[in-house]
Amino acid sequence: MNDHDLFQLILDRPEPDFPSVVDAAVAGGRRARRRRRVATLAAGAAVLAIAGAGVLLTPSASEQVGPAAPVPPPPAAASARPTPESAAPDVTATPRSTEPPTTPPEDGTRADASIAPEGPPEAVEADNPPRLPTQSSRTIRCQATDEGKCSSSARN
């Protein structure tokens, strides 16, 4: 008895009845092939995207990057110079007696309540809520005009 017969002896028995595995194998093989295709496409798309991003983000050769040129510092008073609007007298201001005393700015410019503080308008409105004009302020405004007579809309 040779070794092949030894294995034949192990198999010397009718095997159980099994259904065909061909359909299941074909279905599984199709799934595996589809997964492999999707993985290949996804990997290719990822490589292309990375390569495209690299090309776009790489600085071109014409652009020469060097040290920044020295910029002269701006004059200190330039930023604090009042604009004509801010220098105009505010006729809508409420009497000074009700407001806390304000300290004059150090650069000698006129401290006026109408100078708009720096910052967004929302912040300004939050700090100084809009005030309705009083009767006395309307009268002052009418007298400041050349006509000397207020219109009906100004009186109201």
Min dist CB 52 to other proteins, Å, is: 31
Q: 3-state secondary structure string, the chain?
A: CCHHHHHHHHCCCCCCCCCCCHHHHHHHHHHHHHHHHHHHHHHHHHHHHHHHHHHHHCCCCCCCCCCCCCCCCCCCCCCCCCCHHHHCCCCCCCCHHHCCCCCCCCCCCCCCCCCCCCCCHHHHHHHCCCCCCCHHHHHHHHHHCCCCCCCHHHHC
If binding is defined by CB under 8 A, does position 85 make contact with other proteins? no
If binding is defined by CB under 8 A, does position 39 make contact with other proteins? no
Nearer to other proteins, 12 or 122 (CB): 12
If binding is defined by CB under 8 A, does position 30 make contact with other proteins? yes
Nearer to other proteins, 5 or 125 (CB): 5
Nearer to other proteins, 32 or 53 (CB): 32
Residues at the interface with other proteins (CB under 8 A): 1-7, 9-16, 18, 20-22, 24-26, 28-30, 32-33, 36
